[in-house]
Amino acid sequence: MGDFFRKQLFNIIAAVFLALFVIVWGSVLFQVWVFIPEVPGAAPRLNGAVVCAAGALSTSLSSLTASALGFTMAEVRREEQAGAGKSPGQASEGVFDAGGITTKLSGRVVTALMVYLVIGMLVLGVWLVKGTASTDLIGAFSLSLLGWIIGAAGVVFQTEKPMSQATGTA
């Protein structure tokens, strides 16, 4: 039994972290969604500990996923340059295929990305529907998510090979 935990330690840590993220943000979303303001536009009062935990978890997951993507991109770029006989300091011609990045991502990273995006989209939806009747925490995470998506989209479009390179034409 101890051997199982030793082999699965990183998966267990990742699962606990993602479960906490989902539980805390699920609680925040539920409280904001069911809140009926006595004064129009008033936001619900959330427990300070929940606000701190939600902020720390969302910031951490955003940073962790962004850095995992960045490190993976750098690794793929190094491998492509080494395969082409270039040193890591030399600029490569064009851009590289995003498929090389996605195949190198671990299952934990892919799961974290999907959890972050799904919860983030739910938060964004609640913020857009509830407007001023949501909390500043919801608004802050929504804006952070939008920034993350814009950055990720920039990477996606940057890594796409131009049509001439993909087909081998000039």
pLDDT in tens, 97-136: 566 677 888 889 999 999 999 999 999 999 999 888 888 9
CB 26 within 8 A of CB 112: no
CB 65 within 8 A of CB 113: yes
Tell me which residues of the chain have a pLDDT lower than 50.
90-92, 163-164, 170
What is the structure's pLDDT at 168?
A: 54
What is the structure's pLDDT at 165?
A: 53
What is the structure's pLDDT at 91?
A: 47
For residue 159, how many other CB atoms are within 10 A of its CB?
18
pTM for this one?
A: 0.78
d(CA 67, CA 109): 10
